[in-house]
């Protein structure tokens, strides 16, 4: 089964600063990859997904962007953070059958 | 649109009590999957179970059991003889097909506290 790595684990950034969160996956090839966000006291919402290198789909309009430079690497970025970008960011990868999703350990972002 | 409702925001019980977490969903799809995830204080989402829409058999795994009722669009989760280690936020989720991928639509979660 696959292993999902995320870093950093926690991050405190000032408003207006850039952001780069990384997700890498081991134990699988050509997976679909997903970025979810969990805002404080709320459920999880899908932000971006990717079905292959260089292919990014956005689910909600926002201040963030995503990129997939390599098969098992998924990056979440922002040029200028907003207070509303604070939250817990989770990267997910499905099993081969695409009927179960597994999540990485997450990055807790606080924008001050 | 797909929607998952977990009406119970917080539940608190005493250890060894049984507790049921409710989940109701809405979907247009005829084939879909339902999931339960556990989120302990560490934050990581732990996969608990997947249910296929055309398999309504109830499932039991140790102290955990799941009741899928397609007629009422519900997928409830029961913990029998609860333990303090069961304290966590539990999320119910529904799959939605999106252009070659599978999106998960989550409920708002139920925070379960098991008191010693």
CA dist., res. A25 & res. A15, Å (int): 30
pLDDT over threshold 90, residue A89: yes
- Please judge whether A51 and B52 are an interchain contact, meaning their C-beta atoms are less than 8 angstroms apart: no
Nearest to B103 among A46, A105, A106 (CB): A46
- At B61-113, the pLDDT tens digits run 999 999 999 999 999 999 999 999 999 999 999 998 888 888 999 999 999 99
pLDDT over threshold 80, residue A41: no
pLDDT score of A46: 94
Q: Is A88 on the interface with B (CB under 8 A)?
A: yes
pLDDT over threshold 90, residue A40: no
- Please judge whether B108 and A43 are an interchain contact, meaning their C-beta atoms are less than 8 angstroms apart: yes
pLDDT over threshold 80, residue A27: yes
Return residues 2-41 of A near B (CB < 8 Å).
32, 34, 36
Better pLDDT: B29 or B77 = B77
Please tell me the distance in Å from B45's CA to the nearest CA on chain A.
6
- At B48-58, the pLDDT tens digits run 999 999 888 88
CB-CB neighbours of B42 under 10 Å: 9
Please tell me the distance in Å from B25's CA to the nearest CA on chain A.
15
Residue A92: list chain B partners with CB under 8 A. Answer: 104
Q: What is the DSSP string of A18-75?
A: -EEEEEEEES-SS--EEEEEE-TTS-EEEEEEEEETTEEEESS--S-EEEEEETTEEE
CB A107 within 8 A of CB A89: yes
């Amino acid at each position: 089964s696959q292993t999902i790595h995320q870093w950093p684990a926690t991050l405190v950034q000032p408003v207006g600063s850039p952001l780069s969160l990384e997700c890498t996956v081991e134990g699988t090839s050509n997976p679909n990859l997903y970025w979810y966000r969990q805002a404080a006291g709320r459920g999880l919402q899908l932000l971006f997904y990717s079905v292959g290198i260089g292919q990014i789909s956005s689910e909600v309009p926002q201040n963030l962007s995503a990129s997939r430079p390599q098969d098992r690497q998924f990056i979440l970025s922002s040029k200028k953070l907003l207070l509303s970008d604070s939250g817990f960011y989770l990267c997910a990868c499905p099993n081969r059958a695409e009927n179960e999703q597994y999540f990485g350990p997450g990055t807790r972002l606080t924008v001050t | 649109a797909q929607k998952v409702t977990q009406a119970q925001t917080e539940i608190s019980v005493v250890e060894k009590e049984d507790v049921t977490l409710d989940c109701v969903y809405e979907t247009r799809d005829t084939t879909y999957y339902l999931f339960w995830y556990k989120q302990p204080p560490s934050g990581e989402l732990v996969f608990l179970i997947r249910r296929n829409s055309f398999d309504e058999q109830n499932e039991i795994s140790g102290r955990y059991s799941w009741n899928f009722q397609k007629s009422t669009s519900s997928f409830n989760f029961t913990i029998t003889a609860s333990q303090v280690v069961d304290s966590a936020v539990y999320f119910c989720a529904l799959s939605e097909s999106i252009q070659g991928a599978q999106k998960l639509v989550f409920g708002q979660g139920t925070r379960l506290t098991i008191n010693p």
